[in-house]
A = this chain, B = another copy of it.
Amino acid sequence: MSALAVSIRIAVDCMGGDHGIPVTVPSALSFLARTSDASLLLVGRGAEIERALPGALKGVDVVHADEVVEMHDPPATALRSKRASSMRLAINLIKEGRADVVVSAGNTGALMAISRFVLKTLDGIDRPAIAGPIPNQLGRVTTMLDLGANVDCTPEHLLQFAILGSALVAAVEEKEHPTVGLLNIGEELIKGNDIVKQAAELLRQSPLNFQGNVEGNDIYKATTDVVVCDGFVGNVALKTSEGVAQMLGGFLREEFKRDAVSRLMAVAAYPVLNRFRRRVDPRRYNGASLLGLRGLVLKSHGSADAVAFECAMQRGYEEARHRLIERTVAAMQPFVAQLEQLHGARPEATEQGA
């Protein structure tokens, strides 16, 4: 590749997550090795990062950060008292135009708070949301949001999430009119709460490809490309899913270890079981997007290993390569009237105030 080719510059918060540098740096280098049009800004304790590098590498710069946001730091503390943290400096690189996307396995609350403070939200977006790829039975992913950033949402917030999720799928999966579902509960019961009912009304009035209510199992049935819900419900659904998958995986392992004959069967069926395991490997679905910001921020699971972290980097790279921010801004144009009407006379300046 020529040096003039447009390169996707990825800022990596090397200190984030349960493992930090021993995972993030090798993972980032592995990603770089197979991605010709990417470059890395490795942010964190410079000396430690340098030691983890095999020497000076083309396309790799180290940005020193004195401080580290810990997993247990309250978001407000991380925001106010750790202005020299690797997380903060990595996000600053986006703001300064030196990076196209930041990837961090750090504290979600802090990442959201700092991103929002430094980058600000897009016009028309009140609150950023966390969107994650959920594996579905078609072997693809359903994009679900919010996964935990916003616990009390208005109908208008849910509409905004739908716009953001739809723009993400349109850009990265190159689908022209992604289908959108609103997470609700069963037909036979009282159909959802008032906020969800009102959100459905807003979605019906919007230019989105809204398919109506979906239920929890529809996420996995791939009924719609995007599933919208508030962050409390989304986070519970996500964690519940993890719990079920872990339990079932554990039961399957136990049955194949129960006795000598079963263990023999496990050896014999290894290729099949291994295909199954690879297919449902949660590491492949690592990487949630903080949407609605004026910059691309990818959140990796805190416990991610190098394989999982690399998936999050890949996702961030794809968003940057597909110019997600510009496309989201463009995608929001048809909603301007609807959002402005909902916002009432609120001056735009307030929203973007420093």
**A residues near B, CB below 8 A?**
71-72, 75, 107-110, 135-137, 148-149, 151-152, 183, 185-190, 192-194, 196, 215-221, 229, 231-233, 235-248, 250-252, 255-256, 258, 261-262, 265-266, 268-269, 271-273, 275-276, 279-280, 302
Contacts and interface: CB of A to CB of B under 8 A. Distances in A.
Contact of A236 (B110, B237, B252): B237
B236 A185 contact: yes
Contacts of A183: 236
Q: Which of A109, A215, A232 has the most CB of B within 10 A?
A: A232
A244 B247 CA distance: 11
Contact of A189 (B108, B193, B251): B108
Given A251-B280, A272-B258, A109 B243 contact: no
22 contacts: A72-B187, A107-B188, A108-B188, A108-B189, A109-B188, A137-B251, A148-B185, A151-B190, A151-B193, A185-B231, A192-B232, A217-B240, A220-B243, A220-B244, A240-B240, A241-B241, A248-B248, A255-B276, A256-B272, A262-B272, A266-B269, A269-B269
Contact of A239 (B109, B216, B266): B216
Contacts of A262: 271-272
B246 A217 contact: yes
Nearest to A106: B188
Nearest to A273: B255
A13 to B, nearest CB: 15
B240 A255 contact: no
A265 B274 CA distance: 13
A287 B1 CA distance: 62
A137 B247 contact: yes
A244 B238 CA distance: 10
Given A193-B232, A240-B241, 7 more contacts: A109-B188, A148-B185, A151-B185, A251-B276, A251-B279, A258-B275, A262-B272
A216 B186 CA distance: 19
B235 A189 contact: yes
A245 B243 contact: no
Contacts of A276: 251-252, 255
A157 to B, nearest CB: 13
B232 A185 contact: yes
Contacts of A216: 235-243
A209 to B, nearest CB: 22
A109 B189 contact: yes
A243 B219 contact: yes
Contacts of A185: 148, 151, 231-232, 235-236, 239
Given A71-B188, A246-B137, A255 B236 contact: no
